[in-house]
Structure 1
Amino acid sequence: MRTAAAGVVVALIGLGITWLGMWAQVVIYTAVGAVLMVLGVLAGLPLLVVGGARLVEWLGGGARRPVLHLAARNLARNPGRAAATTASLLVTVTVGATLLSGIATTNASMNAIMGASAPVDIRVDGIAAADDAAALAARAKTADGVEQAVVVPVLDVGITPSDYEIDEITVSAVDPAEVAPVLRSDKGLEGLDDDTLVLANDYGLAEGAAVTLTGSRGSAELTVHVAEAGLGPVVTPAVAEELTGQEPTALSLWVRTAGDGTDTSVVDSVRDVLQRPDLVVSTSATERASFNNQVSRIVTIIVAVLAFTLLITLSGLANTTDVSVLERFREIGVLRATGVQRGQVRRLFITERCSPPCWAGCSGRSWGRCSAWRPWLPCSGSTPRTA
């Protein structure tokens, strides 16, 4: 009993860790939680069987559903038998559910990584300051598969010092509230304020380094924040105004597509509605679609393997039930002689999910006194007892 109770506790802890791993999108937590959950459930099976039997007995109501009542009494008296029967099926289902949960967690993690590395589905660059950017954004929104489009100012500024052997970079003036509807992830904007330049680590600048950006109308001293996302160098609109004043700058159009961003045909629709061959239209849909196809193939293979495993498990349960029917021949005869119908006997065995019963090793002795928790121990008494 102590082992079974400890198993239930371990299973609950494993369930909590698995949920935490899925919420945090950390595969290792999901795997550890799944292992603990399976081990705990296996150890706690007898206790779970007794609880399930009591529930069935309560729902059965005795006189109202005598078959359920009898099955529940048999399960409560011999939980080891039912635990041994259901162990293989439970392990198969648990392992299958864990694998699918792991795949879902991995998929969510990779989608989060893809969203952070390519937060914008479609970018339209090359828009000059004299162009009507608002009209271009409105036309882009009419393309099939486009949800939202936002215009972002882009400016070329000087930078000192730089360890990347460059003295000029292109930065985007981003208002997080305005671009939020088009971004798949906002990780590229973490730490952005009027004193910070956010950029990727491939620019060779260390976290916290002091840099000076020089524009056409002024300069600004900023602190570097290195981000892992793919938005590129980013400053706030206030910094951009400090660098260029009210002078018009080049523009970029950021577009978010419908769904998960894997539809590669949307970029063609955007090109068609813009009708500007001079604009550079780029998309991250190809990489997203390739990744999703790989995950789908892996999921299909695992589901097929699990289906075959489940068939093998069900075959084993069917064989075990067949053997149990033969061993309980006298019990079935007594039930039939007292008026129990064939369908009721069938439901009795299905409800119990019978395995070779404890009294198979207690021939000539009391089945009722055979240890339910330790069915391998010898029995005492001399009268075999059926249901």
Structure 2
Amino acid sequence: GPVGRMAERNALRNPRRTGATGAALMIGLALVACLSVVGSSMVASATDQLDKTVGTDFIVQSDSGQVITPQAVQAIKNTRGLERVTEYKTLDANLTTPDGKVSKDETINAADPTYAKDLRTKTVAGDLADAYRPDSMSVFEGFAKDHGIELGSTVSVAFKDGRTAKLTVRAITSDDVVIDKGAMYASIATAARYVPADRMPLDQLVFATAKEGQQDAAYTSLKSALHDYPQYTVRDQTDYKQALKDQIGQLLNLIYGLLALAIIVAVLGVVNTLALSVVERTREIGLMRAIGLSRRQLRRMIRLESVVIALFGALLGLGLGMGWGATAQQLLALEGLKVLDIPWPTIIGVFIGSAFVGLFAALVPAFRAGRMNVLNAIATE
């Protein structure tokens, strides 16, 4: 109506001031939108990778980074309803490659042969299951290219807590993965031949797979079996996805808290702009009141003007932020995070929230304008 048209024209009266006021909100919301897109894409990409590659039902690990004791591993193996249990260790080693170069402080991921079923890692050459044969291993694609390694090449592996082994490369894994990217695999049995039992590291993770149709019962039994080991957490794939989402969410919430300060400053900028606009238009406001504009209509006009500025900044900010987020996701795609996921509920919620920010920012200026004395306002020079 007429009040809305006046609010629009008031916002356009001083474009530079309106633009500067909306820009502060735009920058804050652009960062919020960008981080929302990046965080949502990271979760979606990791979830997609879990669905495609993880072939086990349960993952047992310590959230504090503790290793899993042999007693806890045995309790897992004694759980009813499980088809297989896979142990997973990491060992430090120095590798001497066929080109004569020494690669220090590398990590060998030693696991049971069933790990090839638990994690379906893509290979560019060979079969990952062959890497768990005696005196065999796998290397990742980038490492193989850098050192001229092919299937059948021999790598000298000097375990830091044991002897030196000559291992044959049976598989080369793809770098186009998210989970265990850059890992080199060998079997626990192979590692045990060269590392004394008293120096063999404990398990970092344990994977368990239920018998067909017994997933729910096995999940309950597994939690019960580890009741005496509260430092370890049993997660199925749904739990693991939620834990991943929560970890990224905690980081984003911290950043959002800092960005909230920038948005508060932007709100104060809107308040300042409206207050200045009211002061500049004192006589005009008095004249409009004299010809019939009610206090309620006056306050509505100022509120709508504030909402126009806020939504103007929000629309530009969210559009710019989604563009930044999509660009950042394309860069992350080089690391295997290939799913672009735009959190539309968050974007729409922020846009609607911007309208309420505009209403909130207009409270004080609208209240002051509504209390103006009409005669004094008209007499103002």
User: 1 or 2 for the larger relative contact order (CA 8 Å, sep ≥6)?
Assistant: 2
The verdict on a shared fold, with TM-score over 0.5 as the criterion, is: no
What TM-score comes out, normalization by structure 2 length? 0.39
